[in-house]
Amino acid sequence: MVALAFLTAAPGAEAGIADRMGVTFALMLQDFVDAFPPVEGLVVAVDGDLVYLDLTAKSGVQPGQEFTVFRKGEVFRHPLTNQPLGRFEEHLGYAQVRRVFPQFSEARYIPLDGRPRVRPEDGARITRGRIKVAIAPLLDLTPAGADVRRVPWLIGGALERSKRFQVADPLAVSTLLETERTRVEELLISPEKVTRLGRTLEVVGWLVPVLLERGGTTYLDVTWISAVTGTALFSRRQVLARPEPAEEQRFPWEPPALD
């Protein structure tokens, strides 16, 4: 009877853990939104593989951000009225911010093959459009063994509701990883796989969620990896939150969540 009571109670110890991770990511969400402010500036200096931008923390710039670097070209006009409508742009590469100073920012420059060299007065921006991102299946490094397959959908829903991100279908992501025989761990250490799979999904970034324990405390750790270069740009870690009772048992007739 004691053994039976233990087996009956054990699943409850991890009840609703997927929902808990959804609640936890909601607490982290604003950090990811703030990492992608719609901002545009200029390259003011170039030093080897470093570029310096006329953007500061006041513009929302912070280490880990990735800017598209471009060069403006000729003006294009309306064919009937001859009114100027805009200018052509040439995409040159990417600038990954390393340090932010009071008057400027320092970034590592990643050129695109076959494009002209970057120079002062070229532009740098984070798009005003939605950022396209893929969410990897959760990497569970705890001994809990809970069913966490819903986590990418919970994270993706939060990102979509922010209206700043466009999320690739988590089912398509997991299917692609299975087809390519790629483990989630490889996304953290293999830039080549990150960029190749990112091109397939047509995204500019990956989110890799990890559940881990340190000193008896469980954390949700989420890393943003550039799908352009395969570089891990920033991560956030939050103690796993307790959900509201209504989140563990959403309807009165439902049994408690046992994931």
Residues 6+ apart with CB under 8 A from 64: 35, 96, 97, 224, 233, 234
What residue ranges define each of the domains in the chain, with the CATH number in brackets? 16-35+130-248 (3.40.50.10610), 40-125 (2.40.10.410)
Per-residue model confidence as pLDDT tens digits over 56-93 = 999 999 999 999 999 986 777 778 887 877 767 899 99
Half-sphere exposure of 185 (CA within 13 A, CB side): 2
H helix intervals, the chain: 2-13, 17-34, 151-161, 170-179, 184-187, 191-201, 245-248
Which of these, 199, 195, 135, lies nearest to 169 by C-alpha position?
Answer: 135
Does the global pTM surpass 0.85? no
Per-residue model confidence as pLDDT tens digits over 95-104 = 999 999 999 9
